[in-house]
Structure 1
Amino acid sequence: MQLRCQQAELERALHQVSRAVARRSTLPVLSNVLLVADEGALRVTATNLEIALSVTLPADVLEPGQLSVRADVFSDFIGSLPRQEVTLTVSPGNTDLRVTCGTSKARIPGIPAEDFPTIARIGDQPPTAAVSTEVLREAIGQVVFAAATDDSRPVLAGVLLEFRGQELTLAAADGFRLSVRTLSLPQPAATDLAIIVPAKALGELARVVADGEETVHLLVTPNRSQVLARSGRLEFLSRLIDGSFPEFRQIIPKQWRTRVTVDREAFLAAARRAKIFAQSNNEVVKLQFLPGDSELDPGSMVVSAQAADAGDTEDVLPARVDGPEATIAFNGRYLTDVLSVAKATEIAIEMTSPNAAGVFRPVGDDSFVHVVMPMVIGTA
């Protein structure tokens, strides 16, 4: 193998795939990056067997070939080089990678490419769906935090991706809250199907998809064991979780008794203040909805928290209250989580009773809904 490429391009590619390098593994090859030189390009790949990342960069390939080398050593050395042309060479019958850049040289021992795991690629296959990069990243951010963080129920540690015609729905739940985001696809999906992607993997996808690329192409493998994504020169792969996701649409309450509309930023600020005190009282933040007595006084919402050893706090926010006076309590972190990802200026909270789930909906945006189970209101 022999090729020439630009140091800046190679450094960027190594940085992009670094998130898939296994940090602790009994298989040494998983701490490596795979270098494949062919047809005027160099492809750099890393995998930890949960996800894989590949980046292709332009290169002057004098002799095609492939080899895997230690990711940390190779990345650190390439990052230390000047912004000049880099030459990578592997002699026939040898597994040492020789790197040359200006007056700098290095020899890095490698492992034969045959020992590196086989990574599926989209290639020329028609994708299952194409999604706007910006919209997909926002949608992932609005649901991934609601997935379970333990593997006691594997399907809840994942995010459901449901392709139906020209709609893609993402849903995540941990048993205490449910987050659902629906987005429109530019073109109908190749087939209707539902898959469960590990939440951590989906979070990585949102981080690595290129800012400059407008579209992410998604492909579900025929055996539905993996999902691939391509954004520009980057390809991403994740295993899928086998199982059935809960019927989330049945969890969302269809009716409400009291509905409150409030400024989201003001509510978020008040919830953050309340959370300071709620930490000493099982994270309980209480919301009290007070209807107004005229059109000029539509009502208010009181956000409060108290703890015997920390003290107490209270914010009174102007709000439109429809229905009777009501009180409900939520985990303070759950409140700040949903208020941080909802993008609307105002948010509506719907409830039927203090012991039934509350529903959060951004006003004017039907694509996002969040359901949270209430907490028992006790005395500090």
Structure 2
Amino acid sequence: MKLRVAREDLADAVAWVAKSLPSRPPVPVLGGILLEVTGDTLVVAGFDYEVSTRAEVSVDAQTEGRVLVSGRLLAEITRALPAKPVDIVTDGSRVTITGGSAKFTLPTMPVEDYPALPEMPAASGTVGAAELAEAVVQTAISAGRDDTLPMLTGIRVEIEGDKLTLAATDRFRLAVRELSWTPDVPDLSTAVLVPARTLADAAKTLGSSGTVVVGLGDGLLGLEASGRRTTVRLLDVEFVKYRSLLPSSSTTTVEVAASELTEAIRRVALVTDRGHHLRMQVTDGMLTLTAGGDDEGRAEEELPVEADGAELLIAFNPGYLLDGLGVVHADTVRLAFTTPSRPALMVPVVDPDKNKPEQDYRYVVMPARLPG
């Protein structure tokens, strides 16, 4: 194999593939990156039996071939090379990478031991890359991180005609986002559970690609855009019946500027510790935030708001509130409450005068127990 490639194109492709490689591969070859040249196209790929990534790069190739090298080392080298064309040449069991005055010689790994990458599942439809990336970020914050409870570590992707619904929960909060897409089959109806961390990484990377092709089949979800493709093995577990957790009514609502509420929560939360939560008190036209106590210090801040309904005192983990506010992507949010012991709902308030597209996003937070 002998080729020349633009350094930036190579570094971007290698970095994208390397992000999905396991930090501690069960066998050494799964920590490798496969480089394969066919014609004037270099395929950079990685696979660990759960996630596969594949990026295509245009190159000036003299001879075709394939080689497997350490993914971590290749990523570090390509990132550090000077901004000059890169020459890659294989010679027996070694590969030489030259960029400008820098030259690296690496041992190869046994490419014959590398597993075959899964095929991209048949296309099910297309969706805007930026919209998908936003929806995944908005739901992934609520996914669990305890691998002993796999049903909570995923994002449920529901397809119903021309609507996609993404949902995730860790039992303390629930995030649901709906968006439009273009299915290949008009009456398609299905649902899958995708590992949240993997889907978030893939969607973030493809977010500037324009349109993403989504494929489902053989226990895999596939995403493809702009010469990059990733497949993810689906979680074979039942997701919780989350729709029953969405509040259907409220007795108290508050509308407040998202940025002002975010900054106030951050300030008041400075005195919280494991034994105390942030308390919200809703009165006519005012939202009062308090935290702490006499022993470790106390904080209080009042915000003028548009409040409607009964007065209320309720407590939350401030981190959960900040997570939702960080991805709601709206100037104003509406908080809807029922009782101090029931979940609260956060939704964006869209200002029609600013010509912003409406987003169907719901973020549900379980309250903390009030003392006494």
Same fold (TM over 0.5): yes
Q: Indicate the residue corresponding to 2:353 in structure 1.
A: none
Distance 2:130 2:57 in 1: 23
**TM-aligned CA distance change 1:142 to 1:105, over 3 Å:** closer
The equivalent of 2:105 in structure 1 is 107
Q: How does 1:1-380 map to 2 (within 5 A)?
A: 1-91=1-91, 94-101=92-99, 105-122=103-120, 126-187=122-183, 191-209=188-206, 211=208, 213-221=209-217, 223=218, 225-282=219-276, 284-291=277-284, 299-364=285-350, 365=358, 367-378=360-371
1:33 deviation in Å? 0.6
Deviations 1:27-67 (A, max 9, x none): 11122110111132000112344322221100223332212
Partners in 2 of 1:80 and 1:313 — Cα distance? 47
Q: Is the 8 A contact 1:210 1:234 kept in 2?
A: no
Quick check: 107-116 or 242-251, which moved more?
107-116
> Secondary structure of the equivalent of 1:288?
strand
In 2, distance between residues paired with 1:337 and 1:44? 35
Listed one character per residue, the Cα deviations across residues 199-253 of structure 1 (whole Å, up to 9, x for unaligned) are 1112211332253x211211112x2x22111120221222211122112111111
Conserved? CA contact 2:2–2:62, under 8 Å: yes
Cα distance change on mapping 1:273 and 1:37 into 2, 3 Å: same
**Cα-to-partner distance string for 1:281-305 (whole Å, 9 max, x where unaligned):** 34x11111112xxxxxxx1111111
Query: Which has the larger displacement, 230-239 or 104-113?
Result: 104-113
> Is this contact kept in 2: 1:165–1:188, CA < 8 A?
no
Question: Matched residues, percent identical?
Answer: 29
The range that moved more, 127-136 or 159-168, is: 127-136
Check conservation: 1:210, 1:232, Cα contact below 8 A. Answer: no
Contact 1:35/1:67 (<8 A) preserved: yes
Deviation digits for residues 97-139 of structure 1, max 9, x if unmatched?
Answer: 23345665543221233311222243xx652121111111111
CA displacement at 1:367 relative to structure 2: 0.3
**Change in CA separation of 1:288 and 1:66 when aligned onto 2, cut-off 3 Å:** same
Deviation at 1:318, TM superposition (A): 1.3
Query: Shift of residue 3 of structure 1?
Result: 2.6
Q: Which amino acid aligns with 2:322?
A: T
Question: Residues of 1 paired with 2:140 and 2:78: CA distance?
Answer: 34
- State the SS of the aligned residue for 2:236: coil
| Structure 2 residue identity aligned to 1:264 | A
Q: Is the contact made by 1:97 and 1:108 (CA closer than 8 Å) also made in structure 2?
A: yes
Aligned-partner Cα distance in 1 for 2:184–2:291: 47
Q: Which AA in structure 1 matches 2:247?
A: P
Gaps of 5+ in 1: 292-298
Residue 66 to residue 374, structure 1, CA distance change in 2 (3 Å): same
TM-score (norm 2): 0.91
Q: One-letter code of the match for 2:170? A: D
Partner of 1:294: none
Classify 1:87/1:142 alpha carbon distance in 2 versus 1 (closer, same or farther; 3 Å). same
Question: Does the 8 Å contact 1:167/1:188 carry over to 2?
Answer: no
* Structure 2 gaps, min length 5: 351-357
Give, in whole Å, the separation in 2 of the partners of 1:114 and 1:7: 27
